[in-house]
C-alpha cells in the first residue's frame, strides 16, 4: 500500500462495538487528518470512509453485539494518511463478493460501504479470516505539499 514511508505522526483508538462509537471514530480521525492542510471535501470523504468501515465492523463483524472491540489507527506519512479499522469478529467468507456494490448479507442494508470507501480513498485493502476478524486499510494521498 502506498504511504508506507516513515511515519510522521500516528494515533490509535479502541472502543466497544456500539453504534454510537461510529461518530467518535469519525470525528477522531477527521481531527487527526485536519492537522495537515486538507480540504473540507477531503475531510468529508475520510469521515464517510471511516464511518462505513467502523459500521461494517459493528454491524457485520460483531453482528451488533456490543462487547466486541473495534480498533482504529491512523498514520501520517509524507505521502498521506493510512487508516486501519480492525475487528476480531466473524470475518468475511468472500471478500471479493462482499466488495461488490449492492452486495449485503443483510437485506435491510444497501451494501455500498466498500463502494464508498473505494470511491473516497486512493487505495483500499481488505483482509479477513473467518472467526478471527477483518482488517480494512485505506490510504488517502496528500495532494501537493501538505504532508511534508
Active centre residues (catalytic)? 52, 56, 109
Q: Is 18 exposed, middle or buried (0-12, 13-18, 19+ CB in 10 A)?
A: middle
Q: Is 11 exposed, middle or buried (0-12, 13-18, 19+ CB in 10 A)?
A: middle
For residue 111, give the 3-state DSSP assignment.
coil
C-alpha grid cell for residue 87?
Answer: 475487528
Amino acid at each position: 500500500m502506498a504511504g508506507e514511508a516513515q511515519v510522521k505522526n500516528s494515533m490509535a483508538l479502541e472502543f466497544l462495538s456500539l453504534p454510537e462509537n461510529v461518530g467518535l471514530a469519525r470525528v477522531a480521525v477527521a481531527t487527526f487528518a485536519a492537522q495537515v492542510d486538507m480540504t473540507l471535501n477531503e475531510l468529508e470523504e475520510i469521515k464517510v470512509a471511516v464511518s462505513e468501515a467502523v459500521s461494517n465492523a459493528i454491524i457485520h463483524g460483531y453482528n451488533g453485539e456490543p462487547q466486541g472491540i473495534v480498533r482504529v489507527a491512523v498514520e501520517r506519512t509524507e505521502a498521506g494518511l493510512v487508516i486501519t479499522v480492525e475487528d476480531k469478529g466473524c470475518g468475511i467468507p468472500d471478500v471479493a463478493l462482499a466488495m461488490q456494490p449492492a452486495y449485503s448479507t443483510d437485506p435491510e442494508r444497501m451494501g455500498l460501504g466498500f463502494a464508498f470507501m473505494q470511491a473516497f480513498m486512493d487505495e483500499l485493502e481488505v483482509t479477513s479470516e473467518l472467526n478471527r476478524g477483518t482488517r480494512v486499510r485505506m490510504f488517502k494521498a496528500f495532494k501537493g505539499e501538505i504532508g511534508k
